[in-house]
């Protein structure tokens, strides 16, 4: 799929970059955990944090796609 056009050609704001950085850190932290060793409440907290972060990243994607610098199809 190398012939697809990019949806976004602009740059991200500092806040958007920070949101992405937080998501990466949360994911890296979750990957580093030994999930089998976490107590049930710790696992629930981790899943809830990741779920919230995923929602935020999806919101960010919507912001970027709805940006006025988006290329038309």
pLDDT in tens, the chain (73 residues): 556 665 566 688 999 999 999 999 999 999 999 989 999 999 999 999 999 999 999 999 998 887 665 555 4
Query: How many CA atoms lie less than 13 Å away from 43 in the CB half-sphere?
Result: 7
Give the pLDDT score at 55.
95
DSSP secondary structure, 25-66, as one string: HHHHHHHHS-GGGS-HHHHHHHHHHHHHHHHHHHHHHHHHHT
pLDDT, mean over the chain = 85
pTM of structure: 0.71
**Domain boundaries along the sequence of the chain:** 38-68
pLDDT tens-place string over residues 38-49: 999 999 999 999
């Amino acid at each position: 799929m190398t012939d697809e056009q990019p949806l976004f050609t602009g740059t991200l704001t500092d806040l958007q970059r920070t949101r992405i950085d937080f998501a990466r850190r949360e994911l890296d932290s979750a990957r580093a955990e030994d999930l089998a060793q976490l107590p049930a409440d710790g696992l629930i907290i981790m899943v809830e944090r990741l779920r919230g972060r995923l929602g935020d990243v999806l919101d960010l994607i919507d912001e970027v796609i709805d940006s006025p610098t988006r290329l038309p199809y």
